[in-house]
Amino acid sequence: MPIYEYYCSDCRGKFEVLTTYEKSREQTVCAACHGVHVRKLLSVVAKPARGGDAGDFGDSGGDDFGDSGGGCCGGACGCHN
């Protein structure tokens, strides 16, 4: 079951909820102030560097995109630099 992170604009607090995807789409109430002005946040997940330790999330020295782009000025962003 995934953990979803939420932001409450009433108390400006963040909280997490362990729930199903279907229930995460329903109206959520703030865990601290019980406010209803709550939105789900986008969580960013890091992946381990290639060839590194399972706990190593640092830079592996190379990029994972090769010649196909993937970042700004790598061809995928459209800036054509």
DSSP of 9-73:
TTTTEEEEEE--HHHHTS----TTT--S-EEEPPP----PPTTS-TT--S--SS-SSTTS--STT
pLDDT in tens, 24-43: 889 999 999 999 999 999 87
pLDDT at 63: 52
The larger pLDDT score, comparing residue 39 to residue 50, is at 39
Rounded to two decimals, the pTM is 0.53
Tell me the mean pLDDT in the region 12-24. 93
